[in-house]
Structure 1
């Protein structure tokens, strides 16, 4: 069985990826502060900003492939702490790519839809980037520097994701569901558009990307939805009152990090390679029914 190393393995997406991958890979989950807590997955304590430790870990584990998820992923935090964001999101990522080139491991990098300016949406892999936040800027820089270090790196730009919580991290839908069940009003943007996808479908896409060295892939869902429309769908699927989901504009709320209006992704390239997410409604139904990641 081939060996896979996942950074950020204790996070929301990382936990799902390890759960999916362990069926066909010998999975080693690297995490800094938390154990992975999945049967059959080896936990590796790793600070990705410690480049010497990273090099030693890869030379010891000798993975056939590495999927790099570890990041500071909250745009507002990155906006307020740009130096820390650069150290984790850019410098550590670049060093990982270089070490993979040295060891011969395939390297897949989890980038973001926030590399785009949001002026028109449905972005393809060849569209020019134009980040509006520090987080987006650092993802762009990481893409570029990783490919300079290792041209075989596969870059996967990920959408807004939802799914089951891990032992140490939740997705954004858990607090939304809690408020729906209490019939508490929720204000959601009707002028911010994404291509939401479940963590399990994105995990499957990342595993598919291992066999696409040097490619750029978008792993978005099949629909372009506003935050407001997503909230209404979630209310419908949970059987809660849709009226508690109320619309607002990005202009109504002052956020530390600028938010692009429409970073929906055109993922036709990945679909043609076999990436096959369900529509959002069906993904939510499966999730709430307790269907485990496939």
Structure 2
């Protein structure tokens, strides 16, 4: 048995790769990336369907965790063709290959499949994305379910964790912004639920350890601390030893791609399984910033 992780060079992918190595030491853990892939990770262009098919035939993974994606909403809005290719068509192909070889697929989706008007959202809530990123993830979910409803869809909110550089995540980039400008402005409108990638990785590993029937369908993985980016900035400023009172709260959305107001995810199914991993944001973010 082997586990294949796409996007293993990314923030979440690295955490999943490390967790799978720790939790499944007897299995072959195969991580792929593209421009940043270095041994032991394998370079794979997910936009090259023939290369993906050949890779799949060579390694024949029993489990595939598809963490690679274009996640920046503004980038997705400005390049819909590339977004569809990576976020939708690659996901469809992997779902087909997994179905053909009877492999388990774990697809990483997003809370942005919802419009943020009726939070909290249960796993069976009807998606209604506001931006193209959310729409592409919804389309990928639909394609995967159409191929095999037993595949697993993991929806997550904004993520943070151990970064290679501060701008790598939408959370830790706030530290960079504060360092560059102690009077920087931050969104104080959208409500978010920052979740540590290590907790998501642990959750996915726990689901892999279950029988396939128990891990089928949609799962929501989210911490429960509601924060705007301004709230996060205040915590991060304190971690940096700076005065949070100098920060500017922006009470309305400013990004080019529409963001939902509140996409709180209810993790009902995980709680029923007894799978709950979380941590305090202020403690975790200070540890990350201190090491960055």
**8 Å contact from structure 1 (residues 183, 244) kept in 2:** no
Separation of aligned partners in 2, 1:167 and 1:279: 22
Q: Distance in 2 between matches of 1:267 and 1:78?
A: 27
Q: Deviations over 1:66-109 (max 9, x none)?
A: 10011111111111111111111111101101101112221100
Residue equivalent to 2:168: 170
Q: Which runs of 5+ in 1 are unaligned?
A: none
For the 8 Å contact 1:236–1:242, the answer to whether it is kept is yes
**Equivalent residue for 1:223?**
225
State yes or no: 1:271 paired with 2:271: yes
The residue matched to 1:70 in structure 2 has which SS? coil
Distance 1:27 1:246 in 2: 45
Aligned pair count?
Answer: 284
Structure 1 CA distance for aligned equivalents of residues 67 and 101 of structure 2: 19
Distance of 1:166 and 1:27 partners within structure 2: 22
Alignment partner, residue 9 of structure 2: 10
C-alpha RMSD over aligned residues: 2.2
Gaps in structure 2 of 5+ consecutive residues: none
Find out whether 1:258 has 2:255 as its counterpart.
no
Query: Partners in 2 of 1:239 and 1:203 — Cα distance?
Result: 30
Please say which of residues 170-179 and 130-139 is displaced more in the overlay: 170-179
Judge conservation of contact 2:112–2:263 (CA < 8 Å) in 1. yes
Residue 182 of structure 1 deviates from its aligned partner by: 5.4
For structure 1, which segment, 184-193 or 91-100, has the greater mean C-alpha deviation from structure 2 after superposition?
184-193
Secondary structure (helix, strand or coil) at the match of 2:5 reads strand
Cα distance in 1 between the residues matched to 2:235 and 2:269: 27
CA contact (8 A) 2:182 2:242 kept: no
Partner of 2:34: 32
Render the CA deviation track for 1:3-25: whole Å, top value 9, x for unaligned: 21100111111112212221133
Relative distance call for 1:23 and 1:262 in structure 2 (3 A) is same
* Superposed displacement of residue 285, structure 1: 4.1
Q: Aligned pair in 2 of structure 1 residues 168, 186: CA closer, same or farther (>3 Å)?
A: closer
Q: Deviation per CA, 1:244-284, whole angstroms, max 9, x where unpaired?
A: 33210234x2x321111111222233234313111322332
